[in-house]
Amino acid sequence: MNSGGQGDGAGAACAVDFRSQHVISAATLLKQLEGGQPPVLLDIRFRPGLADPQAEYDAGHLPGAHYVHLPTVLADAGAHRPAADGALPLPRFDTLQDSLRSYGINDDSRVVVYDNRSGLSAARAWWVLRWAGLTDVVVLDGGYGYWLGQGLPTATARPEPTAGTITLKVSGAPDGGYLPTISTAEAAAFAPAGVLVDAREAQHFTGSTGGSPAHIPGAQSLPSSADVNEQGLLLSSQALRTQAGEAGLTSGAAVATYCGAGVLAAHKVLTLATLGINASLYVGSWSAWSAGPDQSLVR
């Protein structure tokens, strides 16, 4: 397992406000944008079936927000990668650094990420940036939909490019990142000693969409979509803690998450981080697992 951390969470969950370290409300963000040093905004338009995410961004976004193409900025996707790496393998540090600089991000920048999917996609940006060593990164609670519904300011113009100076440094972990990950081999052995969470919708876990049951043996189905309410806002900490506790997800447990391609699973890592619970991400997720040579492991 590649090591990294988000806070110790050991016996201090009630004393530390983990939620505000990872999630920001629309009201708080509005105040920051109106202040003298607004954060850098990154717009993550990504969801299954969205044909032209940049066109949706151009139709309306938070003022000053930069559009981020998830597959090429927050991943190193493409035909040059073997299927066993998964659909959205981690980006290279140098190419990620170039992208972050193009958004005007410096070493001391505060970054707010949001999406059009209640945070379910923006969490991938939160995870990748923290994996890359940035410490002041938060997700806009409710995303663009909630922001728009509250009648808050939007824009259609793209921000003027500003050259940032951020310098990314690799850690001592095998993948160079600062957040913990697990490999396909580690995912196969994770349960029952640890809790392996499948963050996809339940029908993908059970195979009720028409295919055969498709999940990693020993995994628990805990969809990330169940972590937000009908407004797209993250559930209360009490509700999330109860939900996590029923699944055995506590600060002392070994926890790892996966989904289809490492997006929804990143949201599960975020959700648990708001409770002070550390979780590793299986970046390749089901897209890597199902491409493996031993299909007898598919249950």
Which of 3.40.250.10, 2.70.98.10, 3.40.190.80, 3.40.50.1220 would CATH assign to domain 184-297?
3.40.250.10
Q: What is the mean pLDDT of residues 277-289?
A: 96
For residue 211, the model assigns a pLDDT of 58
Predicted model pTM: 0.92
Q: What is the mean pLDDT of residues 120-131?
A: 98
Q: What is the mean pLDDT of residues 129-148?
A: 98
More confident residue, 22 or 37: 22
Q: What is the mean pLDDT of the chain?
A: 91
Q: What is the mean pLDDT of residues 94-113?
A: 98
Q: Which of 98-112, 113-127, 212-226 has the lowest mean pLDDT?
A: 212-226
Span 18-149: which CATH code?
A: 3.40.250.10
Let me know if the fold of 18-149 is the same as that of 184-297.
yes
For residue 49, the model assigns a pLDDT of 79
Q: What is the mean pLDDT of residues 85-89?
A: 94
Q: What is the mean pLDDT of residues 123-138?
A: 98
pLDDT digits (tens, 9 = 90+) for 25-66: 999 999 999 998 899 999 999 988 788 999 999 999 999 999
Could you tell me the pLDDT band of residue 14, with boundaries at 50, 70 and 90? very low
pLDDT digits (tens, 9 = 90+) for 193-245: 999 999 999 888 877 665 555 899 999 999 999 999 999 999 999 999 999 99
3-state secondary structure the chain: CECCCCCCCCCCCCCCCHHHHHEECHHHHHHHHHCCCCCEEEEECCCCCCCCHHHHHHHCECCCCEECCHHHHCCCCCCCCCHHHCCCCCCCHHHHHHHHHHCCCCCCCCEEEEECCCCCCHHHHHHHHHHCCCCCEEEECCHHHHHHHCCCCCECCCCCCCCCCCCCCCCCCCCCCCCCECCHHHHHHHCCCCEEEECCCHHHHHCCCCCCCCCCCCCEECCHHHHECCCCCECCHHHHHHHHHHCCCCCCCCEEEECCCCCHHHHHHHHHHCCCCCCEECCCHHHHHCCCCCHHHCC
Could you tell me the pLDDT band of residue 158, with boundaries at 50, 70 and 90? very high
Residue 9 has pLDDT above 50, yes or no: no
Domain ranges within the chain, ordered by starting residue: 18-149, 184-297
